[in-house]
Amino acid sequence: MTPLTFLLRVGRSDDERLSLQGDLGEERRARLARGGARIADAAREATAAGLPFTTADVVGDLRLRVVEMSMVFEIPSLTPLVRMWVVSHESEPVGLPSRMLVTSPGGRVSTRFDAAAFSHFPLVPLDLVVKSGSQVRRCTIPVAGVRNVIGR
C-alpha cells in the first residue's frame, strides 16, 4: 500500500473510499477521451488515488492506435544508469525506425513484444507513440512519480 493510498483510507469508510476512487477514475477516463488532458496529470491523479494506471488504460482511454510503445525502468541510485526498454512495433510505415536501440554504459536489455503483451504491464510509465487519424504523437512518462510529458 502506498502512503497516498493509506491517506485515502484515513477517516473514510471503505464504501466512501471506493466511491471516491471510482469518481476519480471515471473523471480521468472522460478527460482523456476528450483529448484535452495531459497524460501525466491523469496518471498523477490516478497514483494519488491509489488507482492502477495501465498501458491498456491509456490506449483505451485515448482511443488511439498504438504504433510503438517503450517502457523505461530506471534505477537512479546506480551508476551507470540501468535501463530496460521494451519496444513494440506495428508494421505500418509511420516514419519511425523499425527498431529502437538503447545504449547505456552499464548494460542494455532490449526486446520486442507483441502490442497485446502490454496489457499485462501493471504501470503506465512509458514512451508512447500513438496514432490518431493521420497524427502521430510521442509522449514520455517517466517511471518515478510520472514527472513529465515531453513532446506531445
Phi-psi category of 95—alpha, beta or left, where left has phi over 0 and alpha has psi -120 to 50? left
Q: Does 16 engage in binding with other proteins (CB under 8 A)? A: yes
Q: Least separation, in Å, of the C-beta of 144 and other proteins?
A: 24
Q: What gap in Å lies between CA 119 and CA 54, rounded to an integer?
A: 7
Distance, CA of 45 to CA of 3 (rounded, Å)? 14
- Extended strands (E) in the chain: 65-74, 83-89, 109-112, 126-132, 135-141
* Residue that the C-alpha cell 502506498 belongs to: 2
Measured CA to CA, the distance from residue 47 to residue 25 in angstroms comes to: 11
* Contact status: 58 vs other proteins (CB under 8 A): no
Asked whether position 12 contacts other proteins by CB under 8 A, the answer is yes
Grid cell of 138 as nine digits: 510521442
- Nearer to other proteins by C-beta: 36 or 95? 36
Interaction between residue 25 and other proteins (CB under 8 A): yes
User: Is 92 a binder of other proteins (CB under 8 A)?
Assistant: no
Question: 60 or 142: whose CB is closer to other proteins?
Answer: 60
Report the alpha-carbon distance of residue 102 to residue 110 in Å, rounded.
Answer: 7
Min dist. Cβ of residue 123 to other proteins (A)? 15
Q: Does 23 bind other proteins (CB under 8 A)?
A: yes
Among 40, 51, 59, 64, binds other proteins (CB under 8 A): 51
Name which of 12 and 112 has its Cβ closer to other proteins.
Answer: 12
Q: Which residues bind other proteins (CB under 8 A)?
A: 12, 15-16, 18-27, 29-30, 51-52
